[in-house]
Amino acid sequence: MKSNPNRLWLVALALGWLFDFLFFEHTPGVNFAIFVVLCLAGGLYLLLGVEKVKPAREALWLLIPLLFFAAITFIRAEPMTTFLAFLFTFFLLGIFAASYLGGRWVWYGLWDYVATFFKLGGGALVKPVAFSAEVRKERAERGETAKRSAWPVIRGIAIALPIVAIFASLLASADAVFDARLQDFLDILNIDNLGEYILRFSYILIGAYLLAGVFLHAARDSKDEKILNDGKPMLGQFLGFIEATIVLGSVALLFALFVVIQFQYFFGGQANIHIDGFTYSEYARRGFGELIAVAFFSLLLILGLGAISKRETEPQRKAFSGLSIGIVTLVLVMLVSAYRRLVLYETIYGFSELRTYTHIFMIWLALLLVATVVLEILRRERMFALAALIASIGFAATLPILNVDAFIVRQNVQRAIEGNFGTDNSSRGSSDPIDADQLDINYFTELSADALPPLVASFRADSTPATVRDALGAALACIRYQSDATPDTNWRSYHVSRWNRMKLLEEIRPELKGYFIQNDKDSGQTVIITPLEKEYDCGYMFYWD
């Protein structure tokens, strides 16, 4: 890049301007995925096209999940799914830039990820200045005369503008006459939004500077010649084998006692629960969160002891691995118990976003536990960070593939139709029919745009009972009433789920003619009156008998 440094700055400035063009006054949608692709294209143009610096093959594998999560940001609208999609897109972009040349992210330990992002952030801040200094020094050493360039002038103006604007605003506040003269001057220039332009120009320059730093870091310092995970453990193995086995053995004994007690409930079902005086829902709602916490901290315990405890002989290593396997086996049994508890809870109260997250998280946590034991047996403990990364990506990818909010609607509507879902009744068995009118319509109105297609499909389905269809229509009428605000329809904010929601709400309008909306001015409540002459509050959607 030293042969033509202006090319680096032009690409970085172009990307900074594109960020402003795509995002200013526009909600995130397809613009985010477009900007990610443009950043990748700009970086590859500079590194691969201009400098002929090829990326490591292992680094290229990161592009698959990276582009997947970038696409999810404008396909799904469910909050957790969207948040994780943005998070992993940024995370994978950082890892790709930091391991562009070396591709050794596969061998990173947990501390390597922390150190890598610190180095990348530092490089983004420092390297552009250092690069410019190197270019000037090399030109001076070669005896080249400085070429006339507009860049010093541009940089000077860029630095001066925000400083002058700040002082001008302060002076205008201090003196009314100066304020009037300043306004006259701005009127002559016909600049009504000078502050806005300065702000936008400033973050374009800052973004371009940081992007240039990232490109320089990828081109120079992404070989990963030395990673922390190659050496000895960060803390050293200072704990004796006897102490470690006592800790693991004690935990294994405690877990074994718990599992023995669990087995009578695990296979006995609801009958055994009532023997000890617990109702069906009391047993279901207690414990699954705590059991997940036990599984998580058990994983940390095994990893922590594995890093700091001494295992000097083969029998000691086998004993440690045996205790670890025993603990993980018991924890997996507890996870199955937690899973069953959650299923029982959903049988009574139905699915929600949090319960769906917990379901998926338990599965990936169990897989990570198994992977940890396998790595311990194979003496490949250093690969745990990779296993954890794969499990994290797997969890984040499962949410959009499942389509959480659509899944919730389908499951809860089906449970209402089959009569397996409703309010708690400790004297009623799980197979007793439940009135479908008790379907939690209020929760449907709180879900994201992802929930609307299955909600409309269930409303239109001939197999849906009249009472359930009546309630679903109330939810759709309320959603239509609450979505009067005009969304951002610019192409830059295009979002598959949100645009599909807008289209479906317009299509469903004729089918909701039998639903009437009444506004009570005294109470401030909005009431939906259905064709079956039932009333729902559109604010809270509580069913009124």
List beta partners, residue 242. Answer: none
The most confident of 202-206, 375-379, 417-421, 504-508, by mean pLDDT: 504-508
Q: Which candidate, 301, 300, 302, 320, places its Cα nearest to that of 310? A: 320
* C-alpha to C-alpha distance for 535 and 519, rounded to whole angstroms: 12
The pair of structure tokens assigned to 155 is 């940089």
Tell whether 542 is covered by a domain: no
Given a cut of 50, whether residue 333 has pLDDT beyond it is yes
The most confident of 82-91, 235-244, 457-466, by mean pLDDT: 82-91
For 124-165, the pLDDT digits (tens) are 999 888 888 888 787 777 765 555 555 677 667 777 877 887
Find the mean pLDDT for residues 327-354. 82
Given a cut of 60, whether residue 234 has pLDDT beyond it is no
Instruction: Give exposure, 358-390, as e/b (b: 16+ Cβ within 10 Å).
Output: bbbbbbbbbebbebbbebbeeeebbbbbbbbbe
* C-alpha to C-alpha distance for 306 and 72, rounded to whole angstroms: 37
Binning pLDDT at 50, 70 and 90, where does residue 495 land? very high
DSSP state of 49: I
In 28-140, DSSP assigns E strands to none
Tell whether 275 is covered by a domain: yes
Asked whether residue 366 falls in the same domain as residue 486, the answer is no
Asked whether residue 295 falls in the same domain as residue 355, the answer is yes
- Domain endpoint, select from 192, 208, 230: 230
Question: In total, how many domains does the chain have?
Answer: 3
Asked whether residue 260 falls in the same domain as residue 197, the answer is no
Q: Which candidate, 462, 456, 412, places its Cα nearest to that of 434? A: 412
Q: What torsion, rounded to 10 degrees, do the Cα atoms 59, 63, 66, 72 define?
A: -170
- Domain endpoint, select from 163, 196, 230: 230
CB atoms within 10 A of CB 150: 7
Binning pLDDT at 50, 70 and 90, where does residue 521 land? low
Q: What is the pLDDT of residue 15?
A: 94
Asked whether residue 141 falls in the same domain as residue 279, the answer is no
* C-alpha to C-alpha distance for 211 and 9, rounded to whole angstroms: 9
Asked whether residue 309 falls in the same domain as residue 392, the answer is yes
The most confident of 106-110, 246-250, 532-536, by mean pLDDT: 246-250
Mean of pLDDT over the chain: 81
- Domain endpoint, select from 381, 402, 423: 402
For 244-283, the pLDDT digits (tens) are 888 888 988 998 888 887 776 554 445 544 545 555 555 5
- Give the three-class secondary structure for 524: coil
Residue indicated by tokens 């023995």 = 260
Least-confidence region, from 12-26, 177-191, 202-216, 464-478? 177-191
Q: What is the pLDDT of residue 286?
A: 58
Q: What is the pLDDT of residue 297?
A: 86
Tell whether 544 is covered by a domain: no
List beta partners, residue 543. Answer: 536
List beta partners, residue 516. Answer: 529
Q: Which candidate, 350, 372, 335, 347, places its Cα nearest to that of 259? A: 335
- Give the three-class secondary structure for 543: strand
Query: Does residue 34 or residue 377 have the better pLDDT?
Result: 34
* C-alpha to C-alpha distance for 94 and 73, rounded to whole angstroms: 18
Binning pLDDT at 50, 70 and 90, where does residue 344 land? confident
Given a cut of 70, whether residue 109 has pLDDT beyond it is yes
Tell whether 236 is covered by a domain: no
Asked whether residue 396 falls in the same domain as residue 458, the answer is no
Asked whether residue 491 falls in the same domain as residue 446, the answer is yes
List beta partners, residue 537. Answer: 527
Strand order in the sheet with 516-519: 516-519, 526-529, 535-537
Find the mean pLDDT for residues 204-217. 90
Owning domain of residue 483: 409-537
Find the mean pLDDT for residues 10-20. 92
Are the C-beta atoms of 451 and 408 separated by less than 8 Å? yes
Find the mean pLDDT for residues 437-448. 80
Asked whether residue 176 falls in the same domain as residue 322, the answer is no
Per-residue HEC secondary structure of 204-219 comes to HHHHHHHHHHHHHHHH
Binning pLDDT at 50, 70 and 90, where does residue 30 land? very high
Tell whether 93 is covered by a domain: yes
Are the C-beta atoms of 98 and 217 separated by less than 8 Å? yes
Q: What torsion, rounded to 10 degrees, do the Cα atoms 315, 319, 320, 323 define?
A: 170
Tell whether 168 is covered by a domain: yes
Tell whether 543 is covered by a domain: no
Given a cut of 50, whether residue 27 has pLDDT beyond it is yes
Asked whether residue 274 falls in the same domain as residue 215, the answer is no
Q: What is the pLDDT of residue 75?
A: 95
Given a cut of 80, whether residue 4 has pLDDT beyond it is no
For 443-490, the pLDDT digits (tens) are 888 899 999 999 999 999 988 888 889 989 999 998 888 876 566 678
Binning pLDDT at 50, 70 and 90, where does residue 86 land? very high
Q: Which candidate, 433, 430, 419, places its Cα nearest to that of 271? A: 430
Instruction: Give exposure, 310-324, as e/b (b: 16+ Cβ within 10 Å).
Output: bbeeeebeebbbebb
Tell whether 273 is covered by a domain: yes
Q: What is the pLDDT of residue 287?
A: 60
Query: Does residue 290 or residue 506 have the better pLDDT?
Result: 506
* C-alpha to C-alpha distance for 388 and 110, rounded to whole angstroms: 9
Q: What is the pLDDT of residue 151?
A: 60
Query: Given CA atoms 271, 272, 278, 282 in this order, what sign does their dihedral have?
Result: negative
Binning pLDDT at 50, 70 and 90, where does residue 545 land? very low
Find the mean pLDDT for residues 206-221. 90
Are the C-beta atoms of 324 and 376 separated by less than 8 Å? yes
The most confident of 20-29, 158-167, 422-431, by mean pLDDT: 20-29
* C-alpha to C-alpha distance for 307 and 299, rounded to whole angstroms: 12
Question: How far is CA 368 from its chain centroid?
Answer: 19
Asked whether residue 256 falls in the same domain as residue 161, the answer is no
Asked whether residue 369 falls in the same domain as residue 456, the answer is no
Asked whether residue 355 falls in the same domain as residue 460, the answer is no
Are the C-beta atoms of 16 and 204 separated by less than 8 Å? yes
Q: What is the pLDDT of residue 385?
A: 86
